[in-house]
């Protein structure tokens, strides 16, 4: 009995924590969704009972079908060793491709596009969320309208500045704040529903059907704004590894979903009774005395929502880095207890500049909403396509069963995506441009690294004949171990050749070290290291990491002792090949892409940042390579 109570308490604690991280984005959607649906100048949707009922019905069933049915019931079951998100889905789908390079390339392209859409969403979410919260000043004190953008920029500056401090301390307050937020959403909505209880008729899908039947064109256009109610659905899947399926499902069905529906229906009842409140229906739900506390609470909620997106951007960036899609860069771990809490300075400040730029360019949440939907719906479509591969090939579903379910998902996703395409002239081009730029950089880096590896491999000596030559004509040996890092374990590292050429000696133990990143989140200690003893005190060592593991070579090389190779970490030196790249007309990539790759290569941080190598024991030996 005590154990059962303890498990129940732990479950409720995890559900509360999930409130503070998982549901921030979707939980702040009521700030702007209804306002954007009926916003003057965006689309000709008249404010009348039939339209309000139709929109509320669409929002309700979008939440039920997309979030509850698609993500909570099905997508969250597709975990990669407990982890979720676009990278986890990509890894699962890639396993189906096996040795088919074309199939693997198509799946990889889908995953990269999904990651690019995630980055675009990560830039827009903080901008629109914080803007919409601060815009409550228009209702509370209209004379402060000109201060909305400066205050928003100041809040964002504080938010991004605080990232380097870590989220461990602040995170303790996230759950209670979001618990208060969702409670307030439900109460405000419930009070207004009680004044006009007939609004609950819109829970029926009949009104959504009639809305499309009587005004199909306008209803289709309205989908571009209705989708704002489900932004953040992908966070349920992305953060699954932190909390698990059950706490997220518990928080969603028992608390978040009822609170959201109550608030949307409360706004619907209010705008039918007071049409002028459509300028900002969320804040008009509250009495005058509660406006300033509500603005403060809404700002805290949007900061938390933004924090979750920014943290997600760090996590995806680290995964992309370890899978070879972006250059090496500095990664700081901000918590001794939680490995997933990382801070990446370049990602943080780049994201801040982009978010602030969006705030300055658009100036209001209404204008920015036009740019919001494409990234979200694009990510939804890609997740569905990758899920089809997982359902059929990994779960063993029949083609009929897979096609039936995926068709339902695609009809919904493509409907919302198509409606958002209409917003491209009004700002929808922004996430497309952001995604295109990031896609070009990621593909260039991945292709450039493959090209560089191919050139270095073709120019390297075979390792076994080299060791035989060493045995026939042994050079001088010095005490200690020399670790030579190389992506090609069968070739002689260039750094080893340069060291032998210039210093005329070798270490007592020569380790040819290759680091590999797998397509699953974590590797166990048992599978982390493999050692192959070669003649003349040469060793071929491979360290394997999952894409969410923290690489630490000095720490993990100690594991070689269990395989018969004992290393004194204080007497071990690391040798790294440092290539000087030159663009050429050689085939492989377009010349302009080679120039971009070289620029990225030169700005990448030293490898010590990625692998936690001690700088005083790292020797970089360079060679010139023409791409």
Give percent of the chain above pLDDT 90.
30
| 339: confidence class by pLDDT, cuts 50, 70, 90 | low
Q: Tell me how crowded residue 187 is: count the other CB atoms within 10 A of its CB.
A: 16
Spatial CB neighbours of 367, under 8 Å, sequence gap ≥ 6: 426, 427
Structure confidence at residue 44 (pLDDT): 62
| 99: confidence class by pLDDT, cuts 50, 70, 90 | low
Q: pLDDT tens across 210-238, in order?
A: 999 999 988 998 998 899 899 888 878 87
What is the distance between the alpha carbons of residues 420 and 450, in angstroms, rounded to a whole number? 36
Q: Which residue has the higher pLDDT, 577 or 592?
A: 592
Tell me which of 36-50, 65-79, 532-546, 589-603 is least confident.
36-50
Give percent of the chain above pLDDT 70.
93
At 141 the three-state DSSP class reads coil
Residue 533 DSSP code: E
What is the distance between the alpha carbons of residues 88 and 519, in angstroms, rounded to a whole number? 8
Regarding beta strands 529-534 and 538-545, do their DSSP bridges make them parallel or antiparallel, or are they unpaired?
antiparallel
Residue 310 · residue 122 · CB < 8 Å: yes
Structure confidence at residue 587 (pLDDT): 79
Q: Tell me how crowded residue 353 is: count the other CB atoms within 10 A of its CB.
A: 12
Q: Which residue has the higher pLDDT, 217 or 611?
A: 217
Structure confidence at residue 188 (pLDDT): 95
| 153: confidence class by pLDDT, cuts 50, 70, 90 | very high
Structure confidence at residue 1 (pLDDT): 47
Residue 605 · residue 330 · CB < 8 Å: yes
Structure confidence at residue 282 (pLDDT): 92
Closest CA to 38 of 212, 203, 272: 272
Task: Kindly tell me if the per-residue pLDDT of 579 is higher than 50.
Answer: yes
| 4: confidence class by pLDDT, cuts 50, 70, 90 | low
Q: Report pTM.
A: 0.81
272 Rama sector, left if φ>0, alpha if ψ -120 to 50, beta otherwise: alpha
Regarding beta strands 618-626 and 505-517, do their DSSP bridges make them parallel or antiparallel, or are they unpaired?
unpaired
583 Rama sector, left if φ>0, alpha if ψ -120 to 50, beta otherwise: beta
Task: Kindly tell me if the per-residue pLDDT of 41 is higher than 50.
Answer: no
The top-scoring range by mean pLDDT among 237-251, 331-345, 382-396 is 382-396
Q: pLDDT tens across 344-374, in order?
A: 888 889 999 999 999 998 888 777 877 778 8
Q: Which residue has the higher pLDDT, 43 or 13?
A: 13
Task: Kindly tell me if the per-residue pLDDT of 337 is higher than 90.
Answer: no
Residue 45 · residue 220 · CB < 8 Å: no
Task: Kindly tell me if the per-residue pLDDT of 408 is higher than 90.
Answer: yes
Structure confidence at residue 501 (pLDDT): 82
Structure confidence at residue 455 (pLDDT): 83
Structure confidence at residue 57 (pLDDT): 96
What is the distance between the alpha carbons of residues 339 and 324, in angstroms, rounded to a whole number? 20
Residue 42 DSSP code: T
Closest CA to 621 of 458, 461, 450, 501: 501
Task: Kindly tell me if the per-residue pLDDT of 543 is higher than 80.
Answer: yes
Q: pLDDT tens across 74-91, in order?
A: 998 887 777 777 877 888
Q: Which residue has the higher pLDDT, 592 or 581?
A: 592
Task: Kindly tell me if the per-residue pLDDT of 513 is higher than 80.
Answer: yes
Spatial CB neighbours of 590, under 8 Å, sequence gap ≥ 6: none
Q: Chain-wide mean pLDDT for the chain?
A: 85
């Amino acid at each position: 009995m005590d154990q059962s109570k303890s498990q129940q308490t732990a479950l409720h604690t995890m559900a509360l924590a999930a409130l503070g991280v998982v549901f921030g984005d979707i939980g702040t959607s009521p700030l702007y969704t209804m306002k954007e649906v009926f916003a003057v100048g965006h689309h000709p949707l008249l404010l009348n009972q039939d339209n309000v009922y139709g929109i509320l019905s669409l929002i309700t069933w979008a939440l039920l079908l997309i979030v509850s049915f698609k993500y909570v019931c099905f997508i969250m079951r597709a975990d990669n060793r407990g982890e979720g998100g676009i990278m986890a889905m990509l890894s699962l789908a890639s396993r189906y491709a096996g040795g088919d390079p074309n199939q693997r390339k198509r799946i990889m392209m889908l995953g990269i596009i999904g990651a690019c859409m995630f980055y675009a969403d990560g830039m827009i979410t903080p901008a629109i969320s914080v803007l919409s919260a601060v815009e409550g000043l228009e209702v509370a004190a209209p004379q402060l309208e000109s201060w909305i953008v400066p205050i928003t920029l100041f809040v964002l500056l504080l938010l991004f500045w605080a990232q380097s401090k870590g989220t461990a301390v602040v995170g303790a307050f996230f759950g209670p704040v979001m618990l208060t937020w969702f409670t307030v959403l439900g109460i405000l909505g419930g009070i207004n529903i009680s004044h006009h209880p007939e609004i609950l008729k819109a829970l029926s899908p009949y009104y959504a059907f009639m809305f499309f039947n009587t005004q199909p064109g306008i209803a289709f256009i309205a989908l571009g704004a209705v989708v704002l109610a489900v932004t953040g659905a992908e966070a349920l899947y992305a953060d699954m590894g932190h909390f698990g399926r059950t706490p997220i499902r518990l928080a969603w069905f028992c608390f978040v979903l009822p609170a959201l529906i109550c608030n949307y229906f409360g706004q619907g009842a209010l705008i039918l009774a007071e049409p002028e409140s459509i300028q900002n229906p969320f804040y008009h739900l509250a009495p005058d005395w509660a406006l300033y506390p509500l603005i403060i609470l809404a700002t805290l909620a949007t900061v938390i929502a933004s924090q979750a997106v920014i943290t997600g951007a760090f996590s995806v960036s680290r995964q992309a880095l370890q899978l070879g899609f972006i250059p090496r860069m500095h990664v700081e771990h901000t918590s001794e207890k939680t490995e997933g809490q990382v801070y990446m300075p370049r990602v943080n400040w780049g994201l801040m500049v982009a978010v602030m730029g969006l705030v300055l360019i658009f100036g209001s949440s209404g204008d920015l909403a036009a740019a919001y939907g494409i990234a979200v719906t694009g990510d939804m479509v890609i997740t569905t396509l990758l899920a089809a591969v997982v359902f059929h090939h990994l779960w063993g579903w029949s083609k009929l069963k897979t096609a039936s379910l995926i068709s339902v998902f695609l009809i919904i996703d493509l409907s919302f995506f198509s409606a958002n395409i209409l917003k491209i002239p009004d700002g929808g081009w922004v996430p497309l441009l952001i995604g295109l730029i990031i896609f070009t950089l990621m593909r260039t880096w991945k292709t450039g690294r493959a090209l560089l590896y191919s050139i270095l491999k073709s120019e390297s000596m075979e390792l076994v004949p080299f060791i035989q030559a060493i045995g026939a004509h042994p050079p001088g040996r010095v005490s200690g171990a020399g670790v030579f890092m190389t992506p090609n374990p069968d070739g002689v590292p260039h750094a080893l050749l340069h060291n032998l050429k210039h210093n005329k000696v070798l270490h007592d133990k020569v380790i040819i070290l290759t680091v590999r990143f797998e397509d699953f989140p974590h590797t166990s200690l048992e599978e982390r290291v493999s050692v192959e003893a070669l003649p003349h005190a040469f060793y071929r060592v491979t360290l394997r990491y999952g894409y969410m593991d923290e690489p630490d070579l000095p720490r993990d090389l100690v594991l070689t002792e269990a395989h018969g190779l004992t290393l004194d970490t204080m007497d071990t030196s690391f040798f790294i090949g440092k290539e000087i790249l030159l663009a050429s007309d050689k085939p492989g990539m377009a010349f302009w892409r080679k120039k971009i790759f070289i620029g990225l290569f030169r700005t990448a941080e030293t490898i010590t940042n990625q692998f936690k190598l001690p700088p005083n024991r790292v020797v970089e030996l360079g060679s010139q390579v023409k791409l």
